[in-house]
Amino acid sequence: MLRFCTTLCLLSLFQLVATAPVHAQVPSASERLTLAPVTSGALIAVDGHEPSSLPSPTLRSPDHGDQASKFFAADPVGGQVPPETVIEEVCIADDLGESCLEEVEQDVEDDKDADIMFGDWLGYNATESDMTWLTGSGDNLGIFSLESYPTLETGQDAALMIGTGFHFLNGPIATDLPPRLFDFQLAYQSRRQMSERLMVDYRFGVGAFSDFEGSARQGIRFPGHVVSYYEWRPWLVTVLGAEALDRDDISVLPVAGWVWRPKDNVVYELVFPRPKIHFRTGSSNSMYLSGELGGGTWAIERDTATNDNVTYRDLRLLLGFIDFDDHNAALELGWAFARKLQYRSGFGDYRPDDTFVLRFRSHF
């Protein structure tokens, strides 16, 4: 009888334990740490604390996946969290309530259009493409150009790229220019972090610039640049280097100056040979005043069926308007002056009159 009671009690206890629910030990929200892409000045929560503004260093190493082409950001300090981020999350493995911990590696794709904001400096010579019209007819040379450049996209730190250009000429009557000129380029560009404050940007390329009627070999050129950026302060960057144009009139230009942001609504890009003063006019709009050297050198065939090289040069003063919500496109209105048309042979050199400039471009 005693043995029977003891056995009955043990069976009852075993049944009670077997049917009792088992609760998984899931960490609370305050114990989780989730890493996600954070833009400058964004509000994030860390270790369960309240969101706070956490500006990061202006210059960040490309080895950590940062956007090396975008370091002068809108805080004014910038920098990006690595695009490859490990997210720790708790999951329930089965009905018994056993917990497991998975590491999920998430590739966060950079939105090159949405990421660019006022105050972001994409580096020297960062224009991706443009459509330019220099008005003119008759003896006042008019040029309509469609160009794409071998330039790094936002988020890239190195790439091999191609560029093309198509130039349609209107006039002049006074000299024998072909009606069309073409550009085809291949270039390798890289932006490398050398130290906590120093970054080096270099591009080496080769291109054929010609009307492809005569000897295109005479139109082979090797444009490129080597430029360094040094961050003295989060709001002050020194730019120093050189740009190879490999044109008949200008072979190499020095690149030197500062990018300075004294206030949240203004940026001074005091960099030769492309200075710019940039003003914020709204939450997603801005305007700027800039200057630049225009033109190029092309191999052509003259009316006499002889091969020659022609170089066109001008100086441009431009007023630009940017809408960051519209693919970071810019509309520019300006004036081209000190225009000059020069042949390698020395025959037919010509000075067109000043003219109006209208241009649409991406990555200003």
Last residue within a domain, chosen from 115, 147, 164: 115
Confidence of residue 99 (pLDDT cuts 50, 70, 90): very low
> Is the predicted pLDDT of residue 46 greater than 90, yes or no?
no
pLDDT over 80 (residue 219): yes
Check pLDDT > 70 for residue 140: yes
Q: What's the half-sphere exposure (Cβ side, CA atoms, 13 Å) at 68?
A: 27
User: Would the pLDDT of 332 be above 70?
Assistant: yes
| Residues 261, 294, 129: CA angle, nearest 5 degrees | 70
For 113-157, list the strands marked E by DSSP: 129-134, 142-148
Give yes or no for residue 164 having a pLDDT over 50. Answer: yes
Question: What global pTM score does this model have?
Answer: 0.70
* Three state DSSP letters for 283-327: CCEEEEEEEEEEEEEEEEECCCCCEEEEEEEEEEEEEEEEECCCC
Tell me what percent of the residues of the chain surpass a pLDDT of 70.
Answer: 65
User: Same domain for 86 and 165?
Assistant: no
Give CA–CA dist 209/188, Å, rounded.
18
Last residue of a domain, one of 58, 80, 115: 115
Band (30; pLDDT cuts 50, 70, 90): very low
What gap in Å lies between CA 262 and CA 254, rounded to an integer? 25
Q: Are residues 91 and 145 in the same domain?
A: no
Q: Which conformational region is residue 15 in: left (phi greater than 0), alpha (psi within -120 to 50 degrees), or beta?
A: alpha
Kindly report whether the peptide bond that precedes residue 76 is cis, defined as omega within 30 degrees of 0: yes
The amino acid occupying position 64 is H
Q: For the ranges 77-86, 149-158, 296-305, which has the lowest average pLDDT?
A: 77-86
Residue 166 identity (one-letter amino acid): F
Q: Is residue 209 part of a domain?
A: yes
Under the banding of pLDDT at 50, 70 and 90, the label for residue 309 is very high
Token pair belonging to 17: 């334990």
* CATH classification at residue 169: 2.40.160
Residue 351 lies in a domain: yes
The Cα-based distances of 353 to 134, 336, 356, 361 in angstroms read 11, 9, 10, 24
In a domain? residue 121: no
For residue 85, give its domain range: 31-115
Residue whose pair of structure tokens reads 């960051």 in the numeric block: 324
Query: Does residue 39 surpass a pLDDT of 60?
Result: no
Q: Which two tokens stand for residue 65?
A: 């996946």
Say if strands 224-233 and 252-263 run parallel, antiparallel, or are unpaired.
Answer: unpaired
Best-predicted range by mean pLDDT among 20-29, 92-101, 290-299, 322-331?
A: 290-299
